[in-house]
Chain A
Amino acid sequence: MEALLFYLVALVAVLSAFFVTKCRNPVNSALCLVTTFLCLAVYYVMLDAPFMAAIQIMVYAGAIMVLIVFVIMLLNIGSVGKSVYRHGLIWATGLGFLLFLIAAKFIAGGSVTKQVGTVTAQVVEDYGHTELIGKAMFTEFLLPFEIASILLLVAIVGAVILSKRKV
């Protein structure tokens, strides 16, 4: 059952991912990408990370993709019909494939360590995923969290500066 679901979603994810690179129209690519994101969200749920799934949908599918589509519309280069691909398609395919081979090699050939933490599906059940995240975030990873805030600040300021029309 789970396996079936996995492969099904995987198929969708891969296909939509491929169409991201394939579609002539950026908007279509964007929509495909959203699809991929949703597939990933499904996986997150399957992996007992509902909170992440939620964020995935809200932040990615929601915020980021909306922003992108917004920009696409803004610049209204919706369907510029020039050739979509550059030359060197074969090279790119080859490289991508090689990359995958290598990755596969060190995934298949390599070995992840056994369980080190205490968080199991049961634990998630008991505490609730959000609380676990929050706890980790505000104890162990407090500093990165703060840095992230700075990062966002910088991004905002930068975006503002760059997109202002005149000084």
Chain B
Amino acid sequence: MISVYHYMILAAILFAIGTFGVLTRKNTIVIFMCIELMLNSVNLTFIALSRHLGNMDGQIFVFFVMTVAAAEAAVGLALIIAFYRNKESIEVDDFNLLKW
């Protein structure tokens, strides 16, 4: 029988992979996708828990997380575009103006 813990572990794996991606990829858009991955793993946790606990709060939360994800996507991509316009690049290594 698949318990809530199975789902949470799966979510944890996805979360770790997402983190890994964020830490490793150069391409900003991919990094952003990895972040989305992390959010989704959280969503999975929420829904699994919501099912286990038998109340809707978790699912509502997922709903809002999705909203947030959308909003962030809009803004983030806009930022990336703006950056691209100035620098002709979307590699994180090119964020090297501000340091020390």
Binding site for B on A (CB under 8 A): 2-3, 6, 10, 13-14, 17-18, 20-21, 26, 29-30, 33, 36-37, 40, 43-44, 47-49, 51-52, 55-56, 59-60, 63-64, 67-68, 71-72, 74-75, 77, 80, 82-86, 88-89, 91-93, 95-97, 99-100, 103-104, 107-108, 112-113, 115-120, 132-133, 135-137, 140-141, 144, 148, 151-152, 154-156, 158-159, 162-163
Binary CB contact string for chain B from 40 to 56 against chain A (1 if under 8 A, 0 otherwise): 10011001111111111
A84:B26 contact, CB within 8 angstroms: yes
- For B20, give its contact among A96, A141, A151 (CB under 8 Å): A96
Residues of B within 8 A of A107 (CB): 5, 8-9, 12
A158:B75 contact, CB within 8 angstroms: yes
- For A88, give its contact among B23, B52, B55 (CB under 8 Å): B23
Binary CB contact string for chain B from 53 to 83 against chain A (1 if under 8 A, 0 otherwise): 1111101101110111111111101111110
Task: Tell me, in angstroms, the Cα distance from A52 to B60 when the chains sit together.
Answer: 9
B40:A60 contact, CB within 8 angstroms: yes
Q: What are 28 residue pairs bridging A and B, where the CB atoms are less than 8 Å apart in the complex?
A: A3-B1, A6-B6, A13-B14, A14-B10, A17-B13, A20-B37, A33-B33, A43-B48, A47-B48, A47-B50, A52-B62, A64-B69, A82-B26, A92-B23, A92-B24, A100-B16, A104-B9, A107-B9, A112-B53, A115-B54, A117-B55, A117-B57, A118-B54, A119-B56, A137-B60, A148-B68, A151-B68, A155-B72
Residues of B within 8 A of A37 (CB): 40
B28 to chain A, nearest CB (A): 10
Binding site for A on B (CB under 8 A): 1-2, 4-10, 12-21, 23-27, 29-30, 32-34, 36-37, 40, 43-44, 47-57, 59-60, 62-64, 66-75, 77-82, 84, 90-93
